[in-house]
């Protein structure tokens, strides 16, 4: 006879992250998302969207950090000297 024990698998939780980032031209931006898994399963992060060409990804066991320098080309069109552009990046866990 084989005894099988089932353990519930709970989804990972995002502990810290940003929903909106304000960027200043020619300044370095760093965004970090930290997560945990209640079952201590290995976390894997992926990004949907085209990151800036100079972006650097730093990934460890429970977080991912994206670092890049904000350029005028990334910021977008001027409207009353306020530059706006919307870019969506999805970080999947």
Name the one residue in this structure whose structure tokens are 């069109």: 77
How does 35-69 read in b/e, with b if 16+ C-beta sit within 10 Å? bebeeeeebebeeeeeebeeeeeeeeeebbebebe
pTM over 0.85: no
- Identify the band that residue 37 occupies on the pLDDT scale cut at 50, 70 and 90: very high
Rounded to an integer, what distance in angstroms lies between the CA atom of residue 18 and that of residue 21? 7
CA geometry: angle 33, 38, 39, nearest 5 deg:
120
Q: 91 pLDDT band (50/70/90 cuts)?
A: low
pLDDT at 75: 61
Q: Where exactly are the structural domains of the chain?
A: 13-92
The tens digit of pLDDT for each residue in 46-67 reads: 888 778 888 899 988 899 898 9
At 6 the pLDDT is 79
Identify which of 54, 73, 59, 64 has the alpha carbon closest to the alpha carbon of residue 31: 64
Backbone angles phi, psi at 72, to 5 degrees: -60, -35
Give the pair of three-digit tokens for residue 5.
């024990």
41 vs 79: which has the higher pLDDT? 41
Best CATH choice for the domain 13-92 from the list 1.25.40, 3.90.1010, 3.30.750, 2.60.40: 2.60.40
């Amino acid at each position: 006879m084989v005894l099988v024990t089932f353990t519930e698998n709970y989804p990972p939780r995002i502990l810290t992250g940003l929903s909106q980032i304000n960027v200043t031209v020619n300044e370095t931006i760093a965004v970090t998302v930290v997560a945990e898994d209640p079952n201590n399963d290995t976390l894997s992060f992926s990004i949907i969207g085209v990151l800036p060409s100079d972006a650097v990804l730093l990934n460890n066991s429970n977080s991912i950090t994206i670092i890049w320098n904000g350029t005028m080309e990334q910021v977008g069109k001027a409207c009353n000297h306020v530059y706006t552009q919307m870019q969506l990046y999805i970080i999947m866990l």
